[in-house]
Amino acid sequence: MIFRHPCAFIRWSFLLGLLLFGAEASAAPVDLSVRDWSIEAVERLAARGLCEGLGLGLRPATRDWVARRVAEAIQTIEEKDLNLSSEMAYQIEEDLLRLSETFAPELRALGVAEAGERGEARRPGQPFQWKEAMFGTMLVGEKFLTSFDRQNSTSLIENSQGLRLKDGFNGRGTLPSWLSLGDWFAATFNPGLRGSEEDSDIDLDLEEASAKLAYWNLELKGGLLNFWWGPGYHGDLLLTNNPRPLRAFSLRTLRGFRLPWKLEKLGKWEAQLIGARLEEKRTVKESFLTGTRFEWSPTRRLVVGASHLALFGGEGEEEGFIDFLNALDPTEGGATEERANHLFGADLRIFLAELARWIKVGSGLELYGEFFGEDTKGIYIPEFVSYLGGFLITDLFSWPGLDFRFEGVRVHKNAYEHFVHTSGHRFKNEFLGHHAGPDSDDFFFRLSQVFDVLGKRVVAGFQFDRERRGISGEALQFGQSALAKNEVQVDFLYEFSDKVDLIFAYQFEDVNNFRGSTGIDSHNHIFSLKTVFRF
């Protein structure tokens, strides 16, 4: 029998039912980067009650997904009296104009004919079109100047595809590009260069590359992929783009849908199945990572998510197709009876725009929370849990363009580890989940303000992060000591022209017991300049 437990059969049947019940055909949408600016813009729209938030925890998002949220926000503004001040209404209008210009072809396909039309000519950043083919590209250059107390050290730039900086000058250049053909094929490719003053060699490889086929409401995608599962901003518990992209495939719904018959009253759903092959340099070489994620939105104000990952197979382990199917069954447990490592998480987002305006804290409010557990016995009951929570307030205290976010996380001391797969929930030494790692906590807040300076858009940001590892007081791996890091950053985005954005940032790190070495502290300075050139 393929499935060892009846509930595994039920779970697979439920997954396949969700994937196949998309009742409306859709085009093959092009993927955005996991942390594209437009996803944050859509999240602010959802916090303000202008569009639904379904799909925010299933990244990467697509151009079509963003366009549908923008169209919904435009319709909401036209149909409802939001009772906003003229200043806040102007700010929302500017956000929607910027989005509608970037995603004009998709919006026009949705019937928003006037989208992005400041003129008839194609604007920089919009795709090139020829019949049913569309193509888009940009050039991104990043230059870093770092000053570390410990010159042989490196500093990880969290959630940036495994980017580690060395002391001195560092650089990265990428050419993110995409192509779509009709309603059935899309591809993304992002060649990149990385190098530092200390190294004479420059690394040239693909930061990301994928191809997808679409039919009905399904897409099948493969290549070098990044994933982000959950509601977190500064990190997430199960999957992030903290490491380099995975050799992976994905089968998912293209957009939210309703179940047939009377079940449509339950709300909208989205689902995804993934599989990935990990690196060779592990305790179990080239093990597999597989998992599923579901999102359910009974109302526009609420999104509930559930995720399950399993690490299994590899050299010396069973890894046939049947083992792949059974690895997706969380009822197998994750203690000594089960050689696969199971991680299960659940999360929710609540959007409370009306409450925010009533108590006058801002124009919008989003609350979110997440937990995950692993190492279980029998029916899935986690023996320990890690958790994350946070909130976003838009236009704080009715100050137009001022957003405030807070996020906290506590990761259990046994998280991301396993008695067989002792390399843990990592890829190329970086955590697949939250960058803080096990036995840690992390507290983060960010303030950002949008300005209009001589007709140019400027975004100023200030953020603070405190991260601690070894908080339980128990011994860490490899004899390391407990670590504490305080990090302060200021950043500015300046829209120099229609074609060019400039982003400057300064980051200061104060690290106690640097790299887990007792009594060794470090004060790190990181200056960066990022240039985005839109063709």
| CA angle 373–375–377, rounded 5-degree value | 110
Type of residue found at 406: F
* pLDDT tens figures, 396-410: 998 999 999 999 999
The pLDDT value given to residue 520: 74
The pLDDT value given to residue 185: 94
* pLDDT tens figures, 458-479: 999 999 999 998 888 877 665 5
The pLDDT value given to residue 171: 92
For residue 177, the tally of other CB atoms under 10 A from its CB is 17
* Under 8 Å between Cβ of 416 and 438: yes
Q: For residues 273 and 48, what is the distance between their CA atoms, to the nearest angstrom? A: 31
Q: Is the pLDDT of residue 250 over 60?
A: yes
Contacts with 261 (C-beta within 8 Å, 6 or more apart), sequence order: none
* Under 8 Å between Cβ of 195 and 203: yes
* Under 8 Å between Cβ of 441 and 410: yes
The pLDDT value given to residue 466: 96
* pLDDT tens figures, 228-247: 999 999 999 999 999 999 99
The pLDDT value given to residue 1: 41
The pLDDT value given to residue 453: 83
Which of 16-25, 249-258, 317-326, 507-516 ranks highest by mean pLDDT? 249-258
* Under 8 Å between Cβ of 155 and 146: yes
The pLDDT value given to residue 404: 98
Contacts with 306 (C-beta within 8 Å, 6 or more apart), sequence order: 293, 294, 344, 345, 346, 347
Q: Is the pLDDT of residue 116 over 60?
A: no
Task: Give pTM, 2 decimals.
Answer: 0.92
Is the four-CA dihedral 231, 236, 242, 246 of positive or negative sign? negative
Q: For residues 488 and 467, what is the distance between their CA atoms, to the nearest angstrom? A: 12
Q: Closest Cα to residue 232, out of 374, 388, 345?
A: 388
Type of residue found at 72: E
Q: Is the pLDDT of residue 339 over 70?
A: yes
* pLDDT tens figures, 146-164: 988 766 677 888 999 988 8
